Amino acid sequence: MQGVGSGRRTSMRRREDTVVAAAVVDTRPTARIGAMSVLEKQWPTWQVFSASSEEEFGRLAGEQHFDLVLTDLHLQRNLDGLDLCRFAKRSWEGTSTLVFAEDQDPDTILAAITSRVVDGIVQRTACVSSLVSAIASVLEGYQAWRFDAPTPGNALPNEPGPADLTRRERTILVLLCRRWSNREIAQELHLAEQTVKNNLSTIYGKLGVNGRTEFYASAKGQDLPIYHVSSEVISV
């Protein structure tokens, strides 16, 4: 099921060259990094912030007006995505909110749609183009409800399913997509650099590529499924 609501929330359109301040709020590091990657690549002039907790988001909110808040319906650590959206709507006039949904449970989706604080929902397994389209829609004042799954043509050649990559490998893959060096990945995940190198070799084998250069060449121009917006808890 896929759809964009026909109703407009506001008559004001944002210009293409408007600098948007966006907040990505998620307790899972892979989800945060992945969503930020999409925003930074698609809209390089935007100001993109991230928060891993309610307290961190609260500190950011005290210093910055956010035009877009991107979060998840199912946050961990007793956080509720709808509560964050309510806070955003109360704090800033005209703020757009978009949430990820891990499943299509009717009650969960209905609660979000009828909450009046969520402007759009994107299925967590959706491809990047669906996320980008939904973000553009909510910033234009439309509602966006996207529950489409990625199609085979949108995936990397020989792409393994999520179960084929371990949690650590999925996390490293996210950072690889951000073009982080082995040293940077090791520092971020508190691993030995050789461990990262070994994990990358395994990842390349599972993806059917021979190293970074071939990985980036294979990924260029592809609409990849959002590995980095995984519903799993990432632990290394």
Residue 16 sits in the same domain as residue 118: yes
Q: Is residue 227 part of a domain?
A: no
What per-residue confidence (pLDDT) applies to 227?
40
- In whole angstroms, give the CA distance from residue 231 to residue 116: 24
Are 91 and 202 in the same domain? no
The domain tally of the chain equals 2
Q: What is the spatial order of strands in the sheet that 2-8 belongs to?
A: 2-8, 142-146, 120-123, 96-101, 68-72, 21-25, 47-51
Structural domain that includes position 182: 153-219
- Environment class of 83 (CB within 10 Å of its CB; exposed 0-12, middle 13-18, buried 19+): middle
Regions of the chain where pLDDT drops below 50: 1-7, 10-13, 15, 151-163, 221-236
Residue 228 lies in a domain: no
Domain-located, residue 161: yes
Say if residue 89 is in the same domain as residue 188.
Answer: no
